[in-house]
A = this chain, B = another copy of it.
Amino acid sequence: MTTESLSDIQIAQAAEMKPISDIARNLDLNEDHWDAYGKYKAKLNLSVLDDTSRKDGKLILVTAINPTSAGEGKTTMGVGLSQALNRIGKRTVLALREPSLGPNFGLKGGAAGGGYSQVLPMEDINLHFTGDLHAITTAHNLLATLIDNHIFQGNELNIDSRQIIWKRVLDMSDRALRNITIGLGGRNHGIPREDGFDITAASEIMAILCLAEDLKDLENKLKDMLIAYTFDNQPVYVGDLKAQGAMAIVLKEAIKPNLVQTLENTPAIIHGGPFANIAHGCNSLLATRMALKLGEYAVTEAGFGVDLGAEKFIDIKCRKGELQPSAVVVVATIRALKMHGGVEREHLGEENLAALEAGFANLERHAETLRGFGLPFIVAINRFSLDTQAEVELLSKLCEDRGMPFAEADVWGQGGAGGEDLAHKLVEIVEGNAHDTFKYLYDVEDSVEDKLHRIVTEVYGGLGVKLTAQAQRQLQEMEAHGWDKLPICMAKTPLSLSDDPTQKGRPTNFHVTVREFRPSLGAGFIVALTGNVLTMPGLPKVPAALNMGLDEEGNIYGLF
């Protein structure tokens, strides 16, 4: 790894972007296919997908082992790999999630890759971008407003204001809005009730946008969302309120994927960013489809590690979108493997071969999972400057011994050039693999308990699942309403294969406890919560926002 003293934003600002019209032209898109949003961003019209003369490319999923709290550099690896594939002559398009705006003001650092593997223009992507999240915020709050207005105006649907599931959202880390009371101030100002705000990425509308086929399908999915129960405990859907049409209109531009570029001018389609816990954590289906349509290779990612990201990518997104990955890249760092081998955070910089070997078990478990899906994979060893030669050699040997293809990569420090070896080996795997062995983990028609059991035993390596009394009651209710024949969306800590974040490596002899179910009937999955999931973050003691500003020439400083 090269030792660079430039920050992400310095590298980004020094980059020479091509006009987005050049990027689009290189993809053989004509002017009806896209609309410029400034000189370096565009919205792609869904007509891009209508060209039947183009054959779909190969889908590559980038995922990871269970990460440290700093993450394994999955997005950076995805960006770098796409650059590397283009360098070795494979026309490649990247598909990524779009970041939330709110968290930028808390901790320094954006969500658009890093070092020499970034997507640009990174300030725009991390701020308002093309307004997709604002549109989701608006559609979400429009529905909330219509619910409260319905009750205020006579409550024809008999909605029980104590049983409204639909909260409000803002794209802001605003803990003070987690639990609120609204409708105060007297008879002209609504009906008092308890409520709360989530961050926009946690909205079911975000999940729906990322699974919709087109605007009409989006409208239909919005219609199916569960929003409340009546005083007789009957479910109330968006369709009962007739709100789906206006909401879909609000989202008419947001449904279009966004085209930008990487530091090396690789086309990047960035669209949708649902939470990786209470939702499936992947960019939009439309973005992935477009990347497949426009590239020989389409590189995409899924949030968290294989146990959460890849499993949900396959069992939710691939199933709904009839996608099939050609190969999976599992990002691993020596740091994180040592952590899984029992090393404390402050000692991760020190060579520790025994810990590395012990922690390797975590990677092995994920390899077994991917073999279970019938998917070829390669381990991408994401190099850090403190990795020792002995450590790298040991990890290579461990992979070799277990028959796991691997490659070192330093795309952070070297950009695409640092990922060429990975790209070559990946292409070899993809093009050498003639057998279609891909399969989902479970059948959606299985019972919820069976589906959960397979996830826990075959992906997490646990003994089975336990339901709390609340979850059992909710399961009975879901079965009674016929909501149980949907894929499961696990909400679990990403830091462990188990539901206990302190259990590193490859835990055994554990059960996973499902505390609560939340049916996302519009998105079309059942969320199974195994712990507390915070859907509205807060700001730290010294928020990054306080160090941002404009210098005397009007140049921005302090953002990332």
Residue ID in chain B nearest A220 by CB atoms: B550
Cβ-defined contact, B131 with A145, below 8 A:
no
Cβ-defined contact, A245 with B550, below 8 A:
yes
CA distance A170 to B141 in the complex (A): 9
Given contacts A43-B38, A134-B131, A180-B182, contact A246 B190 (CB under 8 A): no
User: At the interface, yes or no: A446 with Cβ under 8 Å from chain B?
Assistant: no
Q: For A241, A252, A253, which residue has the most chain B Cβ atoms within 10 angstroms?
A: A252
Residue ID in chain B nearest A545 by CB atoms: B246
Given contacts A105-B142, A539-B146, contact A546 B176 (CB under 8 A): no
Nearest CB on B from A132, distance (A): 10
Specify how many copies of this chain sit in the oligomer: 2
Cβ-defined contact, B539 with A138, below 8 A:
no
User: At the interface, yes or no: A325 with Cβ under 8 Å from chain B?
Assistant: no
Cβ-defined contact, B172 with A176, below 8 A:
no
Cβ-defined contact, A549 with B249, below 8 A:
yes
CA distance A539 to B541 in the complex (A): 39
Cβ-defined contact, B543 with A146, below 8 A:
yes
Nearest CB on B from A549, distance (A): 3
Cβ-defined contact, B548 with A249, below 8 A:
yes
User: At the interface, yes or no: A533 with Cβ under 8 Å from chain B?
Assistant: no
Contact of A127 among B148, B250, B538, B554 (CB under 8 A): B250
Contact with B along A511-550 (1 / 0, CB 8 A): 0000000000000000000000000001101011111111
Q: Which B residues are CB-close (under 8 A) to A144?
A: 174
User: At the interface, yes or no: A342 with Cβ under 8 Å from chain B?
Assistant: no
Cβ-defined contact, A178 with B173, below 8 A:
no
User: At the interface, yes or no: A432 with Cβ under 8 Å from chain B?
Assistant: no
Nearest CB on B from A15, distance (A): 18
Q: Which B residues are CB-close (under 8 A) to A189?
A: 175-176, 178-179
Q: Which B residues are CB-close (under 8 A) to A153?
A: 541
Cβ-defined contact, B149 with A538, below 8 A:
yes
User: At the interface, yes or no: A390 with Cβ under 8 Å from chain B?
Assistant: no
Residue ID in chain B nearest A254 by CB atoms: B128
CA distance A152 to B178 in the complex (A): 14
Cβ-defined contact, B246 with A105, below 8 A:
yes
Given contacts A180-B181, A184-B179, contact A172 B141 (CB under 8 A): yes
User: At the interface, yes or no: A556 with Cβ under 8 Å from chain B?
Assistant: yes
Which one, A211-219, A401-409, A492-500, is touching chain B?
A: A211-219
Q: Measuring CB to CB, which residues of chain A are less than 8 angstroms from any residue of chain B?
A: 35-39, 43, 101, 105, 127-128, 131, 134-135, 137-138, 141-142, 144-146, 148-149, 152-154, 168, 170-185, 188-191, 214-216, 219, 241-246, 248-250, 252-253, 538-539, 541, 543-550, 552, 554, 556-559
23 A–B contacts from the bound complex (CB under 8 Å): A35-B36, A101-B138, A128-B135, A141-B170, A144-B174, A145-B173, A145-B176, A149-B175, A152-B176, A175-B188, A176-B182, A178-B189, A180-B181, A180-B183, A219-B549, A243-B546, A245-B545, A245-B546, A245-B548, A245-B557, A246-B549, A249-B548, A249-B549
